[in-house]
Amino acid sequence: MSADPTLAERLLRGDKRALARAITLVEDDRPEGWELVREVFPHTGNAAVVGFTGPPGVGKSTLLGALTKAERARERTVGVLSIDPSSPFTQGALLGDRIRLSEHFLDSGVFIRSMANRGALGGLSEAALQAALLMDAAGRDVVLVETVGVGQAEVDVMDHADTIVLVLMPGSGDSIQALKAGVMEIPDVIVVNKADHPLTDTMVREIRGVLSLGEQKGWRVPIVKTQAAHAIGIDELLEQLEAHRAYIQQEGTLLERRRRNLMNEVVAIASSRMRRELEASIREDADVQRLLDEVCERKLDPASAATQILARGLARAAE
């Protein structure tokens, strides 16, 4: 009698169902999920992880669909991780994009997964980073991570990417302003999608202007014009992604970046756990509730309350 292969074994063999199951375990914050990541972690580090960020509506999912097709044509396996915002409203637009990715559903070389923002900042990025590791362990050559928006949660998710792509479209002026104001970090590659728009070249010039304000040493950020819906510009984008990867490998910055990213990941996981512990203690602990009442009555200031709660939380966590 032969033992059934474990989930980890099936995952490492590239079994898509095992991968799906593993990500669900991580997403649900189940101990088996963390255990699994621990088990397969030595087999990670081989995938090229590319992060895509940019405002909603610029066509990131369509772009990822087109890129996936191009990678498959080169016989590389692809994992797509799509980080959705939790919406109090309809998610119509995002859903529409997802359908465009669905042509790959039957291809065993493509694995697509979306994760929903649960509101807890640490929670989502933590789970997303683990999911990317699981895809890596499952032998995906390329892992494409997509996030919406330019906030801190997205930055945290991007912390796991080897290459960061900012996707814009003509007219998405907020993002250029954000780049200019330094709210957003300079990405490795900039894509101007929907490049059939008459203002495309104006936008490319504007972006060049913003980039020229900062110091650029070594890697020169390319601006790639695409029309993802018509698969235009995708080959050039792929070339630029490969060029960036070759560059960071050659310069040793890939290792450096991964060290920094892994460190960020450790900090993010630890912070998120601490914050969760803290919030639980605030919700559940009657003594903490009394402290908060005193704050609301302006008898105790927030910093002193934080000190007291922290001392309690630490004592509890150290038990």
Window 135-164: residues binding its own copies (CB under 8 A): 148-153, 155
Q: What is the DSSP letter of 158?
A: H
Considering the rule CB under 8 A, would residue 257 count as an interface residue with its own copies?
A: no
Q: What is the C-alpha separation between 162 and 311, in angstroms, rounded? A: 38
Considering the rule CB under 8 A, would residue 51 count as an interface residue with its own copies?
A: no
Residue span 216-245 as binding mask against its own copies, x where in contact by CB under 8 A, dash where not:
------------------------------
Nearer to its own copies, 50 or 169 (CB): 169
**Interacting residues with its own copies between 112 and 131 (CB under 8 A):** 121, 129-130
Q: What is the C-alpha separation between 71 and 238, in angstroms, rounded? A: 8
Considering the rule CB under 8 A, would residue 198 count as an interface residue with its own copies?
A: no
Which of 12-20, 71-79, 226-234, 295-303 is the region at the interface with its own copies (rule: CB under 8 A)?
295-303
Considering the rule CB under 8 A, would residue 299 count as an interface residue with its own copies?
A: yes
The torsion angle over the Cα atoms of residues 199, 202, 204 and 208, rounded to 10 degrees, is -160
Nearer to its own copies, 73 or 255 (CB): 255
Nearer to its own copies, 73 or 93 (CB): 93
What string of DSSP letters covers 195-240? TTSTTHHHHHHHHHHHHHHS---SS---EEE-BGGGTBSHHHHHHH
CA 216 to chain centre: 25
Considering the rule CB under 8 A, would residue 37 count as an interface residue with its own copies?
A: yes
Nearer to its own copies, 66 or 291 (CB): 291
**Interacting residues with its own copies between 66 and 95 (CB under 8 A):** 85-91, 93-94
The torsion angle over the Cα atoms of residues 236, 240, 246 and 249, rounded to 10 degrees, is -150
Nearer to its own copies, 74 or 299 (CB): 299
Nearer to its own copies, 109 or 139 (CB): 139
Considering the rule CB under 8 A, would residue 282 count as an interface residue with its own copies?
A: yes
> In this structure, are residues 98 and 82 in contact, taking their beta carbons and an 8 Å threshold?
yes
Determine how many CB atoms are found less than 10 A away from the CB of residue 308.
15
Q: What stretch of H or E contains 254?
A: helix 253-284
Which of 11-19, 31-39, 189-197, 223-231 is the region at the interface with its own copies (rule: CB under 8 A)?
31-39
Considering the rule CB under 8 A, would residue 266 count as an interface residue with its own copies?
A: yes
Nearer to its own copies, 101 or 110 (CB): 101
Size of the site for its own copies (CB under 8 A): 82
Determine how many CB atoms are found less than 10 A away from the CB of residue 250.
9
> In this structure, are residues 184 and 150 in contact, taking their beta carbons and an 8 Å threshold?
yes
Structure tokens given for 80? 């797509």
